[in-house]
């Protein structure tokens, strides 16, 4: 076998096969790159960024193998300085195999990425094995390859490549750079494979349909099945775990279900676009799967935090089963950006352009997330209640899938509410919902900059944000029926009051729902 490989004809055939595979690899990489820049459909249940990175690593080791086969074809003696490069190639092979295993442990396994890792392992491992066998072959003077090489040297002089120090430094820099990227990628894959596990009894996974594709959704339901029904919608970039303490307290009187929207927590990615309509289609199926009969009018209360609240407002317009909604520090975000910008003397065009410029930044973060560069900066040591779920929260906000989903969600927000929508009042006939709307805002008109230790520009920005939030809270409460109202959080509250001040929120929910 070794003799066949080391022969010029055998090396040539293998080289042609690797070239074919490298063309396929780089073509797939381009497809996934385009999908990252301009999302369409769904190419993977995770993030296209992960698969793209794995394809680039695979292409790199294929190129290395082609150069190695060239050396064999032209009977070039291996330079001693390449020992370090071969060690790095072997390390890439080992790390790729670890990645292959971890992709199957991941709660959302990326099968394509896993097999790309396996192929990378085989190619890099084959190259390292070939180098070892070649070294053994060259050390045995009785072998045919060494005899031919010796004859060539005696006739034509020493054929050992004379490589400049600059070229050696360049090769080592390139290999070191790729090895570093592979190490970082492996750190991220291990991090995501080390998921927090189940919440216990009440947690189930259901398969729903979205734009013709299957999507596995994690749900968590508590409380007796014969009790009034509540569906919980988490904020952007979060999962149903955000509501854990609130859900626990409400379960004594209600049947409460939270879930991870597609692409968040432990749920599969859904096809782009991540529009309100597509999200509602999934949510309605989830409600039916957990036993909430969406064909029964006024049977479900939707409680949403942040972006989740706006989804509840959307559901209430189109789903007859929604009895009423409770918004937790939730505002129509594009209108909020406009009001804040107006307070800072910006025009609607300037505000919208500013938000458009933010989207490429989020896409860039989503694209770089597989390399573990950003993950450590988003890991918090505490603050979540209950504290034993802090690890769950840290994990959900630091997956590659999460940030790809956030980029999809932000793109949909920009698409669904452009300049004219931003500067228009949300109080209009198309937004009126003849159902109860309770708006609980984290803002409080009596909390000043001095209370928050803010001065100068920070103080001005705080008042702009506070006034925008309060105005939209009042306006949203005017969209519902006579039961609707808005409530300000007492004292100093922040957007994270859902898990930091759950007792206050539960108190408000238990007070208002009976009035629905």
Cα separation of 374 and 285, whole Å?
34
> Is the predicted pLDDT of residue 476 greater than 70, yes or no?
yes
pLDDT at 222 (0 to 100): 98
pLDDT tens digit sequence for 423-468 = 999 999 999 998 999 999 999 999 999 999 999 999 999 999 999 9
Decide: 11 and 5 in contact? Cβ < 8 Å. yes
pLDDT tens digit sequence for 213-229 = 999 999 999 999 999 99
Q: How far is CA 507 from CA 184, 258, 513, in A?
A: 45, 19, 10
> Is the predicted pLDDT of residue 209 greater than 60, yes or no?
yes
Q: Structure tokens of 458?
A: 């920070």
pLDDT at 163 (0 to 100): 74
The stretch 246-252 carries a mean pLDDT of 97
pLDDT at 291 (0 to 100): 96
pLDDT at 505 (0 to 100): 97
Helices 48-73 and 348-368 meet at what angle, rounded to 10?
50
- Return the percentage of the chain with pLDDT > 70, whole number: 93
pLDDT tens digit sequence for 313-337 = 999 999 999 999 999 999 999 999 9
pLDDT tens digit sequence for 279-314 = 999 999 999 999 999 999 999 999 999 999 999 999
Cα separation of 101 and 27, whole Å?
25
CB-side neighbour CA atoms (13 Å) of 14: 25
pLDDT at 124 (0 to 100): 95
Decide: 287 and 302 in contact? Cβ < 8 Å. no
pLDDT at 141 (0 to 100): 42
The stretch 363-371 carries a mean pLDDT of 95
| Mean model confidence pLDDT for the chain | 92
DSSP annotation of 292 reads: -
Angle at 273 between CA 268 and CA 275, to 5 degrees: 95
Q: Which range, of 144-153, 170-179, 475-484, averages the lowest pLDDT?
A: 144-153
Cα separation of 69 and 84, whole Å?
18
DSSP secondary structure letters along 396-425: HTT-HHHHHHHHHHHHHHHHHS-HHHHHS-
Strand partners for 205: 218
pLDDT at 146 (0 to 100): 46
Cα separation of 229 and 272, whole Å?
30
The stretch 160-185 carries a mean pLDDT of 89
Closest C-alpha to 167, from 18, 67, 62, 55: 67
Q: Structure tokens of 451?
A: 């209370």
pLDDT tens digit sequence for 36-80 = 999 989 999 999 999 999 999 999 999 999 988 887 777 777 677
Three-state DSSP at 128 gives helix
Q: Structure tokens of 373?
A: 């560069």
Cα separation of 420 and 424, whole Å?
6
Residues in the chain: 516
Q: What is the CB neighbour count within 10 angstroms for residue 165?
A: 8
Strand partners for 304: 233, 327
> Is the predicted pLDDT of residue 149 greater than 60, yes or no?
no
pLDDT at 342 (0 to 100): 97
pLDDT at 130 (0 to 100): 82
pLDDT at 5 (0 to 100): 60
pLDDT at 504 (0 to 100): 97
Cα separation of 4 and 46, whole Å?
41
pLDDT at 132 (0 to 100): 81
E strand intervals along 306-390: 322-328
Three-state DSSP at 267 gives coil
Cα separation of 483 and 398, whole Å?
40
């Amino acid at each position: 076998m070794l003799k066949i490989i080391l022969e010029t004809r055998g090396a040539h055939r293998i080289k042609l096969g690797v070239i074919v595979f490298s063309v396929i690899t780089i073509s797939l990489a381009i497809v996934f790159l385009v999908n990252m820049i301009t999302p369409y459909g769904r190419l993977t249940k995770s993030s296209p960024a992960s698969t793209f990175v794995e394809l680039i690593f695979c292409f790199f080791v294929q190129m290395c193998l082609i150069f190695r086969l060239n050396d064999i074809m032209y009977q070039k003696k291996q330079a001693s300085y390449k020992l370090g490069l071969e060690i790095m190639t072997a390390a890439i092979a080992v790390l790729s195999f670890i990645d292959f295993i971890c992709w199957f442990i991941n709660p959302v396994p990326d099968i394509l990425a896993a097999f790309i890792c396996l192929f990378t392992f085989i190619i890099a491992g084959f190259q390292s094995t070939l180098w070892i066998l070649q070294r053994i072959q060259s050390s045995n003077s009785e072998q045919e390859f060494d005899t031919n090489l010796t004859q060539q040297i005696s006739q034509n002089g020493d054929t050992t490549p004379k490589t400049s120090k600059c070229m050696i430094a360049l090769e080592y820099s390139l290999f070191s750079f790729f090895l570093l990227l592979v190490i970082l990628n492996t750190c991220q894959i291990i991090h995501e494979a080390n998921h927090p596990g189940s919440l216990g009894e009440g947690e189930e996974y259901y398969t729903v349909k979205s734009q013709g594709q299957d999507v596995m959704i994690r749900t968590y339901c508590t409380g007796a099945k014969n009790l009034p029904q509540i569906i919980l919608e988490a904020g952007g970039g979060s999962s149903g775990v955000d509501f854990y303490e609130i859900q626990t307290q409400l379960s004594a009187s209600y049947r409460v279900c939270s879930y991870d929207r597609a692409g968040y927590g432990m749920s599969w990615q859904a096809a782009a676009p991540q529009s309100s309509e597509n999200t509602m289609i999934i949510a309605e199926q989830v409600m039916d799967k957990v036993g909430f009969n969406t064909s029964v009018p006024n049977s479900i209360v939707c409680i949403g935090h942040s972006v989740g609240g706006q989804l509840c407002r959307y559901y209430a317009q189109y789903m007859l089963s929604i009895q009423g909604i409770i918004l937790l520090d939730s505002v129509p975000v594009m209108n909020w950006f406009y009001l804040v910008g107006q307070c800072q003397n910006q025009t609607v065009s300037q505000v919208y352009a500013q938000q458009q410029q933010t989207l490429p930044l989020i896409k860039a973060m989503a694209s770089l997330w597989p390399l573990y560069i950003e993950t450590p900066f988003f890991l918090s040591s505490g603050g979540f209640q209950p504290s034993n779920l802090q690890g769950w929260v840290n994990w959900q906000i630091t997956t590659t899938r999460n940030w790809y989903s956030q980029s999809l969600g932000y793109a949909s927000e920009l698409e669904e509410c452009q300049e004219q929508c931003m500067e228009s009042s949300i109080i209009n006939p198309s937004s009126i919902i003849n159902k109860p709307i309770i708006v609980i805002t984290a803002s409080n008109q009596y909390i000043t900059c001095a209370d928050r230790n803010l001065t100068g520009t920070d103080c001005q920005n705080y008042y702009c944000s506070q006034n925008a939030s309060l105005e939209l809270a009042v306006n949203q409460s005017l969209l519902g029926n006579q039961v609707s109202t808005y409530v300000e959080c007492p004292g100093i509250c922040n957007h994270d009051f859902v898990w930091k001040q759950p007792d206050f929120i539960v108190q408000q929910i238990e007070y208002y729902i009976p009035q629905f």
